[in-house]
Structure 1
Amino acid sequence: MKKIREFAAGGLCLLAMLSGVTGTSAAATPKPVLSWQDCGDGLHCGSLAVPSDWARLDQAPITLGLAKLPATNAAGDHGVLLMNLGGPQAQISAFRQPAFQERFAELRQWFDIVIFDPRGFEASSGVSCPLPAPAEADYVFPDQAAFDAHAERNARFGRGCAATPLAGKLDSWQVAHDLEAIRKALGERKLNYFGNSYCTVYAQAYADLFPGGVGRMYLDSVMDHTNPSLRNWLGQRARANERTLHRFAGWCAAEPSCALHGRDVLTVWDELIARAERQPIPGGGTTVSAEQIVARADIRSERRWPAFATALAEAHAGDATKLATKPVFPPGPDVMRIPTCADFPYPGDYRSVREVEASLRTVAPRLGWRQAWIWAMPCARLPGNGTFPPHRRDFAGVPPVLVVGGVDDDNTPPEWGRHLAAQLPGARYLAAAGDHAVYVDGNVCARARAHRYLTTGQLPPENTVCA
């Protein structure tokens, strides 16, 4: 389960030159052009040629890789459900794991589940970069020199990746056109889509560009791509991050085993940060600065709260040994940051990022303001930054969509999902207990609501909450 959720969280979701680059009519059922071959692990694999640039159809084509998990009950078959679980990153290799397939056994009673590697990843004309993407665990850069050094490494990484027909063509505008090509190649009159986390961005672009092709869309843990205000959008995530710190403090107050039980956790935090700003805290043969404490505050998972409470208590007492080691993040594909920063551009100069930080400190003064630097690390001076930025959308003609969000999600905060649902005609927002990736994480109520919607079109009643 842990690996599944890390995959779904990703950060932070394929033509024989099919006609209609921007068409929106899907009245006629297209003739299928895909063929499938058994490729092991219960999967059937296929490929599809599409333009490398949907804005210039004379460009060399690329290949998109797809895989299918056939429906287990043909009598209840509802056609195809196209699925992408996030990242953005490869999907097919992950679905070779039985644990992934098991999470969708119920859906396979009704649907052929089709997955695809987004353009640039593995089976879909994958992009190989000669240099590794620079990542810095202590991403709250202490000064301009440290930031500039990282930004130049990031720019050099991006320039190395540019020797490909897909340079500048990995954003969700391009992927939305890929989705339309997939729909036609599958012979589906409408596109039924299950998008989680980052791959809800693809759904938003598709619903805007091809509203007539939308069937039923289940969007879980939404990345809102309709808010052009960076500070407002990022402020919502910063506040969610701050709420997690407060939840941690509340847990500590109620849990006798917490190392800070009986103390005001937020006061301890404030005192520790103020002391570290004056002079870094010694520990582990080195010292730990206030910026490092903020960057290393690992509280997203409740399983890690006991260890972090102990580290915080010891640091407050003068020994920061347990905070002295940089955290090790799960590896992600280097290419991931290229489409992410194309869809969500970010300033690449130190002064601008500090201005974003100052804005976030007004709404999330203790911890959430670090979001200014979390986004700066992958995007700073990356070539292709902002080829398809967030913007207001026209979703006229889109049928009702089911949007689901975890009430404690600080990766894709509930505000993002509610904002998107409010713009989609007839859509319903379903709040669910839990964190990121509600369906994959196993919320029984939310899964049942998703099944009912995807098979019948029935939305939950307004203001439904899945406990």
Structure 2
Amino acid sequence: MNTVASLILGAAVAVAPATATPLSWQDCGDGLHCAQLQVPADWTRRSGPEVAIGLAKLPARDQARKKGVLLVNTGGPGEQIVLLRQAKQAFADLTEWFDVVIFDPRGFGASTAIDCPIHAPFATEWVFPDKAAYDAYAAKNRAFGEACAEEAGVLAGNLNSWQIAHDMEAIRKALGQARLTYFGNSHGTVLGQAYAELFPRKVGRMYLDSVLDHTTPDLRAWLQPRTKALEGNFARFAAWCRSTVTCALHGKDPVAVWDEVMARARREPVPAPEAGPQAGVSDTQIASRATFSFEDTWERLAAGLARAQAGDASFFAKVEGAVDPDLSRVVLCADLPYPGYGKVKELETALRRDTPHIGWRAVWPMANHCGGLPATRTYPPHPLAAPGLPPVLIAGGEHDDNTPPADGRRLAGRLPGARYLAADGGHALYLSGNPCVREHVHHYLVDGRLPPAGTICESPSQ
């Protein structure tokens, strides 16, 4: 842990408790009520400048019978209120018992927002082929980060889960809740881990879905579950191809085809005529763009591989997927600081031994987010101690290579009384509508009933 982070952790004891500030809710459309809460820009200096935290509430259907308030963060990091407007139905069941409250984290949306003056760079080839490519990208990312930090003003250096967890404690008090009932998804689980560590006796019930482990400081140990989960999805894809006649590689060995295409692209780019007469695709570009995580992509991926084997890699010249909001990487890298090219390349080499086909790629996404960003106050992964924390419910999808199930199991093993709920699925189990997971979550949040140990939620189609 670096010195600054140690100072921040030490300051947790010294931070004076915030006084409750009543919220003034106003109708803000779409069935939501909105409010703002003033909090210190830096919780280590409570007497310093303040910033606003924007909140939105989807009220319980029957206010007379509601159980309380459920605070939610769906992940990102990024804006939350706009997501609640777009996906109210995902939370509709919960309004039988709770006011569902969501907040834009500091720096985003309806909170005191940071509008970075230049956009973060977007690398279409984020498995960097060499140090020169990485350095060129990192220089652009550094320029973005420096401009963003200047625009951030009093929030510069104060965008991490330690600060946001203190915001959550202020929200709990402002909501008038003796204990916090919390639902965190993906990066929202990092906020949950921070809150559980800093305010364990203020937790009522906490559900963490698709855990991003924030307790493991050893980077190789943190990466290994990601590499194995991704390699596992590659193996599932290959098995699907062998057993599915509509797979373009049916009747062939899909693993051998992949290895052949990657080896050819490593020697020289494979032509991609749809991208231009001189266009070609390298092995690092293929690794950046091949998606094995979602079954509904496999048919197109198999067809693209078949074409690439025949000498046309146009499928892999296409860039798909959304670009992360600019500020998201600043928050993510404050919580999960990442090394530079040399160390990442060493990790790739080491992890290729166990995951030689595609799992090794998992070392690169964070390098894309964090490469070159200027130093800031971080709250890095560290062992979690939370004396007095009540039982926490944790769920993970067995095929999730973004937040692999090993992360959730590891966290559950470190929190006394926690229960891990396994599910045959991918990322964001509750929000994606897994009925078994949702039923167990409702029982837990409403009356504290944990699923029996060893419970596995099968796929909804089974």
Q: TM-score range by the shorter chain?
A: over 0.9
1:134 pairs with one of 121, 127, 133: 121
Gaps of 5+ in 2: 1-12
Superposed CA deviations along residues 352-388 of structure 1, whole A, max 9, x for unmatched, are 2211211221222111111222111110121245611
For 1:187, the aligned partner's letter is G
Q: What displacement does 1:238 show?
A: 1.2
Is residue 329 of structure 1 aligned with residue 317 of structure 2? no
Is residue 226 of structure 1 aligned with residue 215 of structure 2? yes
Q: What displacement does 1:146 show?
A: 0.9
For 1:103, the aligned partner's letter is A
Q: Aligned equivalents of 1:200 and 1:31: distance in 2?
A: 25
For 2:40, the aligned partner's letter is P
8 A contact 1:53–1:166 mirrored in 2: yes
1:462 pairs with one of 448, 453, 459: 453
Is residue 150 of structure 1 aligned with residue 137 of structure 2? yes
Instruction: State the partner residue of 2:312.
Output: 319
Superposed CA deviations along residues 108-164 of structure 1, whole A, max 9, x for unmatched, are 000000000011101111111111001101111111111100001001100001122
For 2:30, the aligned partner's letter is D
1:394 pairs with one of 350, 371, 385: 385
Instruction: State the partner residue of 2:105.
Output: 118
- 1:40-439 matches, within 5 Å, as 40-97=29-86, 100-163=87-150, 164-284=153-273, 285=277, 286-325=279-318, 327-348=319-340, 350-384=341-375, 387-439=378-430
For 1:201, the aligned partner's letter is V
Superposed CA deviations along residues 206-259 of structure 1, whole A, max 9, x for unmatched, are 110111110100110001000111111111111111111111111111110000
Q: Aligned equivalents of 1:149 and 1:217: distance in 2?
A: 42
Q: Aligned equivalents of 2:228 and 2:299: distance in 1?
A: 22
Q: Aligned equivalents of 1:291 and 1:31: distance in 2?
A: 52
Please give the secondary structure, in 1, of the residue aligned with 2:410: helix
Total equivalences in the alignment: 441
Q: Are residues 370 and 147 of structure 1, via their aligned partners in 2, closer, same or farther at CA, if it must alter by over 3 Å? A: same
8 A contact 2:21–2:37 mirrored in 1: no
Q: Aligned equivalents of 2:65 and 2:429: distance in 1?
A: 25
Q: What displacement does 1:172 show?
A: 0.2
Please give the secondary structure, in 1, of the residue aligned with 2:91: coil
8 A contact 1:86–1:199 mirrored in 2: yes
Instruction: State the partner residue of 1:39.
Output: 28
Gaps of 5+ in 1: 1-19
Please give the secondary structure, in 2, of the residue aligned with 1:45: strand
Q: Aligned equivalents of 1:314 and 1:258: distance in 2?
A: 13
8 A contact 2:15–2:46 mirrored in 1: no
8 A contact 1:407–1:435 mirrored in 2: yes
Q: Aligned equivalents of 1:222 and 1:160: distance in 2?
A: 31
Q: What displacement does 1:31 show?
A: 6.1
Q: What displacement does 1:318 show?
A: 1.4
Q: Aligned equivalents of 1:250 and 1:200: distance in 2?
A: 32
Please give the secondary structure, in 1, of the residue aligned with 2:364: helix
Superposed CA deviations along residues 399-421 of structure 1, whole A, max 9, x for unmatched, are 00000001111110000000001
Higher deviation after alignment, 52-61 or 216-225: 52-61
Please give the secondary structure, in 1, of the residue aligned with 2:205: strand
For 1:352, the aligned partner's letter is K
Please give the secondary structure, in 2, of the residue aligned with 1:346: coil
Q: Aligned equivalents of 1:384 and 1:66: distance in 2?
A: 30
Please give the secondary structure, in 2, of the residue aligned with 1:105: helix
Q: Are residues 421 and 290 of structure 1, via their aligned partners in 2, closer, same or farther at CA, if it must alter by over 3 Å? A: same
8 A contact 2:22–2:175 mirrored in 1: yes
Instruction: State the partner residue of 1:5.
Output: none
Q: Aligned equivalents of 2:21 and 2:112: distance in 1?
A: 22
Instruction: State the partner residue of 2:3.
Output: none
Q: Aligned equivalents of 1:190 and 1:243: distance in 2?
A: 40
Q: Aligned equivalents of 2:287 and 2:377: distance in 1?
A: 28
Please give the secondary structure, in 1, of the residue aligned with 2:290: coil
Q: Aligned equivalents of 1:70 and 1:384: distance in 2?
A: 41
8 A contact 1:21–1:177 mirrored in 2: no
Q: What displacement does 1:291 show?
A: 1.1
Higher deviation after alignment, 182-191 or 88-97: 88-97
The alignment's TM-score, normalised by the length of structure 2, stands at 0.93
For 1:218, the aligned partner's letter is Y
8 A contact 1:293–1:323 mirrored in 2: yes
Q: What displacement does 1:328 show?
A: 2.9
Q: Are residues 460 and 22 of structure 1, via their aligned partners in 2, closer, same or farther at CA, if it must alter by over 3 Å? A: farther
Instruction: State the partner residue of 1:9.
Output: none
Q: What displacement does 1:334 show?
A: 0.5
Q: Aligned equivalents of 2:14 and 2:306: distance in 1?
A: 59
For 1:61, the aligned partner's letter is E
Q: What displacement does 1:461 show?
A: 0.5
Q: Aligned equivalents of 1:74 and 1:426: distance in 2?
A: 32
Q: What displacement does 1:43 show?
A: 0.5
For 1:359, the aligned partner's letter is A
Q: What displacement does 1:75 show?
A: 4.1
Superposed CA deviations along residues 162-199 of structure 1, whole A, max 9, x for unmatched, are 12211110100000100110001110000000110111
Instruction: State the partner residue of 1:17.
Output: none
Q: Aligned equivalents of 1:359 and 1:73: distance in 2?
A: 56
